[in-house]
Chains A and B, each alone.
Chain A
Amino acid sequence: MEISPLLEMRNVTKIYSNGVLANSNVNFSLEKGEIHAIVGENGAGKSTLMKMIFGLEEPSEGEIYLNGKKVKFQSPQDAIDHGIGMVHQHFMLVPSFSVVDNIILGMEPIKGFNIDYKDAVRMTVELSAKYNLAIEPLAKIEDLSVGMKQKVEILKVLIRGANILILDEPTAVLTPQETEELFRELLGLKREGHTIVFISHKLKEVKEICDRITIMRAGKTEGVFQVADVTEQEISRLMVGRDVILKYDKTNHQPGSPVLRVEHVSYAESDAKPLLNNISFTIREGEIVGIAGVEGNGQAELIKALTGQISDFTGHVAIGEHRLQGHTMKEIRDLGMSYIPEDRMHQGTAADASISDNLISRFYRFKAWNKGLFLNKKKITEFSEEQIKRYKVRCSGPEQLIGMLSGGNMQKIVVARECDDKPKLLIAEQPTRGVDVGAAQLIHQRLLEMRQEGCAILLLSADLNEILEVSDSLLVMYNGQFAAYFPDAKQVKEEDLGFAMLGLKRHNEDQIRRAIHV
């Protein structure tokens, strides 16, 4: 006997008002009680598909059926009323409110004119006990860890009676322990009869907890499988249409003379404990130095010190013969430094400006790009088109606003800008975070090209795969200091790296001092 699926999308097409075709003839079905993964590169159309299920967007063509009945959601409220809930990647919480306040917002139990807090707390506690999602009902959101905030989000969705939960890259922000906990909770929800849509980039996780998988590429579905029947390699091939090579061919070459010299840099905010404690190292021409470490061990501050975002540190930082302290960002860049910031949304790009404006923001003031008092529009457009082609940026043209692009394509523009005018030194801070495999590969290739051209590169990354594959040598930061130096990144065992990152093992001073070249 055939049972109609819980939710079905038939031949759904979505064209945005700006003409972008986000989904084309997509079919998607959800069985009751399953955990269903949706995987795909950035910009493959996963988010758009989910937005249509959640009523944030309406399909241009095609139908959505819920329990065999045709439905049309015009707002998230419609979807919520039909038992569909979404846990957003960026939490939708009010920071100064308590957990209870956030959970009951919009559906407050009342007594007279007042909110019935007794009842609200009772509801929250009951719900958290039922689904085994332990939370402190009266804690303030801003004091909670990311994992806890996510629990609040899930509870928010559950209290509104959702039986279909959409989780948008839920593990992107979690620590491994928190991820495990989340998985236990999700399996618990599944046992209770809930259906879960799990959007992710991480194939390992998909294999671990999902039942079925829908693979999307370029706005289309590439297939639906039982997760047990496909290997990670097969999934990745369907996702990107080619095997993802995580090995790069690196030519061996001898690095040149030091470009960046960092000597005895220490930094603390007010009287607190030092965030950077006597940091010294060099980066040579044609060398990629990776910096690994658990977040919050001083990496961010180190980058800030090197790029001129903080200047009240002690010690000495120089590019070639030029000391950096006391110089503005512009002056530092003029010395030949490029910087790919971690936060592409706020620091890396101006979202409301066009692709070409973003591309030239680094050198618009140079003579070559101007014609008298005005910008040389023609040259800029030609240049932009060239870069778009070279980096395979998916967009409608150089005049498109960069904020309209997906994360991966946006990042390609940042990389294009920072790598173009032959910098002597490139600081790459998490250059591929949240970027799809294809874009990440392209960015890695570009970094390796730059290395070949003799650029000194500092690569800071939380992605071990990336840092082990791309770097030549590796430094590990722990507690504001270097805990280890591996002269050959290729030889590093993940185990050793883990020990250094967690501060379990430390190289001695002599070993770490090898990071300083004369």
Chain B
Amino acid sequence: MNNFMHLLFSTDFAFSVLRVMTPILFAALGALISNKAGIVNIGLEGTMLVAALTGVITSAYSGSAWVGLLCAVLSGVIIAALLGFFTLKFKTHIILGGIAVNMFASGGTVFILYLVSGDKGASTSLKSGVLPNLHIPLIQDIPVLGPILSGHNVLTYVSLVAVAGLYYLLAKTPLGLQIRAVGENPKAAQSVGVKVNRIQFISLLISGFFASLGGAYMSMGYLSLFTRDMTAGRGWIGIAAEAVGRSTTIGTFLSALLFGAADALANALQILKLPAELIGTTPYIVTVIALMVYAISESKKKKRKLTKAKLKETKSS
């Protein structure tokens, strides 16, 4: 137990929180942008998986992790474009489209993996690339903070920059305004000539872009190989993180951080002699609790708003 507490308050643990958070954050950002545009992309999990495999294969054949990353991103954006094509142009229900993406990815990646490596479980036979870790000068010399913040995979930093970028996009730019308008009242957007389908398509592409970065991180940073269903629900947890974060950029980031911490905790708990299966449930329990807290506070907020409106009414009358 002592050992465990020691570990919990170590810089290693804080470091691992960020490490574990990265794919969840990417998925959450993907969920955020698509939700903002009113088109719920539940294909994030599958998109991540496809990108993870694409990254591994292309980096192995090209010999460059960067080419692998590029191709991974490309594959994610293509998946999102396909999803958009079917749902926006041919009006497939977006949830069904998302389910199709997930099922296709889960089976398809194993199939491709087998074709390429002759193995149905992992890509051990491929010499795939790994994206570098960055040691940030100056910051790495700060005590405590240095070991926590420095030395992460390049994509971890990208995910943090992406939070700022997405915040800026949504809050400050015309595209962001239009995305938010389309998500909240598509008729209003349409009535002033905003092309609703186009905005939703763009949002899906950005969503696919984020998801694919998360996928690439899984197989080229977090691990250095592809294994079957390696995303293990991170796409879904990302969607939960977006909801708990109340569809705000900052909130989504914070809740992704929380889920990352839960995941890291699960890893840390393994030094206690608890059943591994039990420990493995930690992140999901945190998800359920967080969603409950979210739902309760949401309904309370509604009530408060009602009373406030009523007070206003009594005052004015």
* Interface set, chain A 78-92, CB cutoff 8 A to B: 80, 86, 88, 91-92
CB-based contact B178/A270 at 8 Å: no
**B92: interface (CB < 8 Å):** no
B-chain residues with CB within 8 Å of residue A296 when the two chains form the complex: 313
- Nearest B-chain residue to A271, judged by Cβ: B307
CB-based contact B181/A105 at 8 Å: yes
Q: How far is the CB of B167 from chain A (nearest CB, A)?
A: 13
- Nearest A-chain residue to B169, judged by Cβ: A113
Interface size on B, residues (CB 8 A): 25
What 1/0 mask marks residues of chain B from 185 to 220 whose CB sits below 8 Å from any chain A CB?
101111111100000000000000000000000000
* Interface set, chain A 265-296, CB cutoff 8 A to B: 269-273, 296
Q: How many A-B residue pairs have CB under 8 A?
A: 78
**A97: interface (CB < 8 Å):** yes
CB-based contact A76/B191 at 8 Å: yes
Per the bound structure, the CA–CA distance linking A107 and B191 in Å amounts to 12
**B297: interface (CB < 8 Å):** no
CB-based contact A269/B184 at 8 Å: no
**B180: interface (CB < 8 Å):** yes
A-chain residues with CB within 8 Å of residue B174 when the two chains form the complex: 108, 110, 115
A-chain residues with CB within 8 Å of residue B189 when the two chains form the complex: 94, 105-106
Q: How far is the CB of A177 from chain B (nearest CB, A)?
A: 14
**B311: interface (CB < 8 Å):** yes
CB-based contact B184/A156 at 8 Å: no
Per the bound structure, the CA–CA distance linking A101 and B317 in Å amounts to 31
A-chain residues with CB within 8 Å of residue B3 when the two chains form the complex: none
A-chain residues with CB within 8 Å of residue B301 when the two chains form the complex: none
Per the bound structure, the CA–CA distance linking A18 and B180 in Å amounts to 34
CB-based contact B181/A76 at 8 Å: no
- Nearest A-chain residue to B193, judged by Cβ: A77
**B2: interface (CB < 8 Å):** no
**B172: interface (CB < 8 Å):** yes
Q: How far is the CB of A140 from chain B (nearest CB, A)?
A: 12
**B303: interface (CB < 8 Å):** yes
**A252: interface (CB < 8 Å):** no
Per the bound structure, the CA–CA distance linking A77 and B307 in Å amounts to 41
Per the bound structure, the CA–CA distance linking A77 and B196 in Å amounts to 13
What 1/0 mask marks residues of chain A from 127 to 164 whose CB sits below 8 Å from any chain B CB?
00000000000000000000000000000100010000
CB-based contact A94/B181 at 8 Å: yes
What 1/0 mask marks residues of chain B from 40 to 53 whose CB sits below 8 Å from any chain A CB?
00000000000000
User: Knowing A93-B185, A93-B188, A106-B193 touch, does A273 contact B314 (C-beta < 8 A)?
Assistant: yes
Q: How far is the CB of B21 from chain A (nearest CB, A)?
A: 28
What 1/0 mask marks residues of chain B from 157 to 190 whose CB sits below 8 Å from any chain A CB?
0000000000000001110011011001101111
CB-based contact B173/A479 at 8 Å: no
**B276: interface (CB < 8 Å):** no
User: Knowing A94-B184, A479-B317 touch, does A105 contact B194 (C-beta < 8 A)?
Assistant: yes
* Interface set, chain B 276-317, CB cutoff 8 A to A: 303, 306-307, 310-311, 313-314, 317
B-chain residues with CB within 8 Å of residue A175 when the two chains form the complex: none
CB-based contact B172/A106 at 8 Å: no
**A74: interface (CB < 8 Å):** no
6 A-B contacts (beta carbon < 8 Å): A77-B193, A86-B191, A93-B185, A95-B184, A102-B188, A106-B178
5 new A-B pairs (CB below 8 Å) besides A114-B173, A269-B306?
A92-B190, A96-B184, A97-B177, A269-B307, A272-B310
- Residues of B whose CB lies within 8 Å of any CB of A are 172-174, 177-178, 180-181, 184-185, 187-194, 303, 306-307, 310-311, 313-314, 317
